[in-house]
Amino acid sequence: MTQFSLDKALQAITERNAEAPDLSEGIGRIDQNTPEVKRRRIRQLEAAVLSQIEYLQGEPESELKTTRLNVALDRLGELRAELGDYEGAIAVTVDVRRVAEYQKVQEAIARDPSETCACPLVRVVDGASGFVTLSPRFKAQRILTEKGYLDLIRCANCGFMNAK
Ligand SMILES: [Zn+2]
């Protein structure tokens, strides 16, 4: 994990909140799934996690404090990944498996969407028609990126991912 700067993170939140429109009124009338609204809501959650981290950093050193801080940092990473900020997610995430997953998603987003793995189609038994041919590649997740929402496609066979 790179050095986490709480001051910088809080500063960034303050700046973002200053430029973001106030959506607290009329929230029922707007589509909650637009990238703009989703980002706004995640940033509110991010601010809450940052204030929790600030609180924990002021606590006396203990094993419990370390555990709680690590959980809070991983949560901060999750929220940043949800925002499509994988660099920011990787910078704060403690759990190495999550870091590896974020790196794979980041690579998938950067990859040419037409690029795919070489895994062949699979023939599976189908009760009604005998056999059907299926692609091992499936829509694993809908992700928010700088390009808006994309489908993260994952190969069940080799783990290859791309986003389109
Ligand atoms: Zn594959």
For 51-105, the DSSP string reads: HHHHHHHTSPP-HHHHHHHHHHHHHHHHHHHHTT-HHHHHHH---HHHHHHHHHH
101 shares a domain with 120: no
* Total count of domains within the chain: 2
pLDDT for the residue 1: 46
User: pLDDT averaged over the chain?
Assistant: 88
Q: Which amino acid is at 72?
A: A
Where does the pLDDT of residue 40 fall: very low under 50, low under 70, confident under 90, or very high at 90 and above? very high
Where does the pLDDT of residue 29 fall: very low under 50, low under 70, confident under 90, or very high at 90 and above? low
Long-range CB contacts (within 8 A, 24+) of 151-155: 152/105, 152/108, 153/108, 155/116, 155/117, 155/119
What's the maximum distance between 2 C-alpha atoms anywhere in the chain? Answer: 66
Residue whose C-alpha is closest to residue 87's, from 109, 108, 102 = 102
Strands 161-163 and 137-145: unpaired
- The three-state secondary structure class of 142 is strand
Residue that terminates a domain, selected from 64, 83, 108: 108
81 shares a domain with 27: yes
122 C-alpha to center of ligand 1: Å? 11
88 C-alpha to center of ligand 1: Å? 28
119 shares a domain with 59: no
This prediction has a pTM of 0.75
133 shares a domain with 68: no
Statement: residue 145 has pLDDT above 70: yes
160 C-alpha to center of ligand 1: Å? 5
**What six digits make up the tokens of 21?**
């429109």
103 shares a domain with 48: yes
125 shares a domain with 102: no
pLDDT for the residue 86: 96
Where does the pLDDT of residue 126 fall: very low under 50, low under 70, confident under 90, or very high at 90 and above? confident
What mean pLDDT is predicted for residues 7-26? 66
100 C-alpha to center of ligand 1: Å? 18
Pick from 62-71, 125-134, 141-150 the range whose average pLDDT is largest.
Answer: 62-71
134 shares a domain with 64: no
Indicate left, alpha or beta for 8 from its phi (over 0: left) and psi (-120 to 50: alpha): alpha
Range of the domain at 89: 6-108
137 C-alpha to center of ligand 1: Å? 7
